[in-house]
Amino acid sequence: MTSTEALLEQIRSGPSGPHIAAVFDFDGTLIDGYSAAALYSHRFRNFDIGPGEMVRLVRASRGPTLTEERFVALVEEGLRSLTGRTEEDVLELGERLFTQGIAGTLFHPAWRLVKAHQRQGHTVAIATSATQLQVAPLARELGVEHVLCTRLATEGGLLTGKVDGRSLWGPGKIAAVRAFAAEHGVELAASHAYANGDEDVPLLDGVGHPHPVNPQPELAVEAAQRGWPVLRFASTKSGRFDPVPALRTAALFGTLFASAGAGIALGALNGDRRQGVDLATSMFSALAGPLADIDVEVIGEEHAWSHRPAVFFINHQSTLIDFLVATRVIRSGFTAVAKQEVKRMPVVGQLFDLAGVAFLDRSNRARAVEALKPAVETLRAGTSVVIAPEGTRSLTPRVGEFKKGGFHLASQAGVPIVPIVVRNAGEIMWRNARTARAGTVEVVVHPPISTDGWTSADIAEQSRSVRELYLDTLDHWPVPSSTGAQPEN
């Protein structure tokens, strides 16, 4: 077995160039489980699947490894319900399934491996027996151009319910990869492949650097016999009847409401709302993590205290976990900028309003600019501001384009920007999750970036530069030092 970090270091220190490929299986390798489950759940909710088909699917999943022919028969049985629909309709369905659930099953270590190969200039491809409706959204998020998958046949622009050409199951997958390698000048003997299924032995055997990922039983035996180092990714899922995630999430929200209540009471008693907000954020940062079994590991924490007030940037994956990170790192003396929709959230919206959060209507630029004016005055009065420069939560670790509002805000107030880079908030609680997982959120706080002398013309370039800092940090995560400055009490 090998660790993800060790493999990442091997990739970074190894040869580069497009003649080396990195081929990733999809189901069970890039994501935890099978994307077809999301499609069948959709069909089941729409009463579009019969008991006979369900029985055959269960038998297939529990039986021996499928032949290529039997796999195609099962796929075409499932595709029958899509007959007569346009390819555009089906791809739109795939986007919805990705947003609703598939994105939450992403293996974040696999994401980091893809990005490491891309940084080395390797030719990255996804090779999967799944169809384009299942794999296309994640390929886009990963920035993977080459997708080898089972294609859906069309006639007159409409789906026929059949597979177009050979499926990419077992022998079909390695055949497609060999054809791709010949077309793109790829040397398979120098290339990498990642896969989990028993049927993927031919794929792994066909490259110089095979990487079984959470291998199924037959693949695990083959890997042991051949000396292939195995990668183990932690599951993204909890047991259906496991009450712990719900209790953990209840602890997070309970602590949030209790902290807010204590802060409101103190503010009312002392006539000082700022003091009440500081009590609430400090109390939440101290209690929420331990109660929910979520640790926050911070590198460069001293940079959060060297220049106050400041505009703190945080990449945005999970509202609740990002708030936990903000309170843990910044502790006190801050408020935030949030989108208008948050204000309408029950309880949370009211609490944020009491804390002086500036709410932006991103659909109206004039209103958004107007809403930032109180935040400028807040900064000039000595209170820091937290903002998500992407503007909205990401479904995956992908860093979106940065909005320019935070840069204008810091420049107008004459305060520095402090970048807070969060690596894995989405692993703990992804955007559409209802419950939180236990784990460690990893954070890097960079030194403050001065905005002295900035003009409006500088903002676009600064936006690109700071976003690149986030991308570089996520791709080359620093090693924690044994010592570090601590904030003053």
pLDDT at 370: 76
Classify residue 475 as exposed, middle or buried by CB count within 10 Å of its CB (0-12, 13-18, 19+).
middle
pTM (2 decimals)? 0.86
Q: What share of the chain in percent tops pLDDT 90? A: 63
pLDDT tens profile 209-259 = 999 999 999 999 999 999 999 999 998 887 666 788 899 999 999 999 899
Q: Band of the pLDDT at 319, cuts 50, 70, 90?
A: confident
Q: Band of the pLDDT at 32, cuts 50, 70, 90?
A: very high
Q: What three-state secondary structure class fits 350?
A: helix
Query: Which residue is it, tokens 């979106």?
Result: 400
Order of strands across the sheet that contains 358-360: 294-299, 439-445, 417-422, 311-314, 384-387, 334-339, 358-360
The single-letter code of the amino acid at 392 is T
- The better pLDDT of the pair 373, 314 is held by 314
CA distance 360 to 419: 21
Q: Band of the pLDDT at 169, cuts 50, 70, 90?
A: very high
Task: Return all residues near 433 (Cβ < 8 A) that are at least 6 apart.
Answer: 104, 318
Q: Band of the pLDDT at 362, cuts 50, 70, 90?
A: low
pLDDT at 413: 95
CA dihedral of residues 113, 114, 115, 118 (deg, nearest 10): 120
pLDDT greater than 60 at residue 375: yes
pLDDT tens profile 84-126 = 989 889 899 999 999 989 999 999 999 999 999 999 999 999 9
- Report the first-to-last Cα separation within the chain, whole angstroms: 44
DSSP 81: G
* Averaged pLDDT, 22-46: 85
Q: Band of the pLDDT at 481, cuts 50, 70, 90?
A: low
pLDDT at 421: 97
Q: What share of the chain in percent tops pLDDT 70? A: 90
In the predicted model, what is the mean pLDDT of the chain? Answer: 88
Q: Band of the pLDDT at 487, cuts 50, 70, 90?
A: very low
Task: Return all residues near 146 (Cβ < 8 A) that are at least 6 apart.
Answer: 123, 124, 125, 126, 180, 184
pLDDT at 43: 67
CB 303 within 8 A of CB 447: yes
pLDDT at 106: 95
pLDDT at 75: 79
Q: Band of the pLDDT at 484, cuts 50, 70, 90?
A: very low
pLDDT tens profile 418-462 = 999 999 899 999 888 889 999 999 999 999 999 999 988 899 999
pLDDT at 489: 36
Which of 59-73, 328-342, 452-466 is predicted least confidently?
59-73
pLDDT at 62: 60
By DSSP bridging, strand 192-195 and strand 384-387 are unpaired
CA distance 281 to 17: 48
CA distance 231 to 243: 29
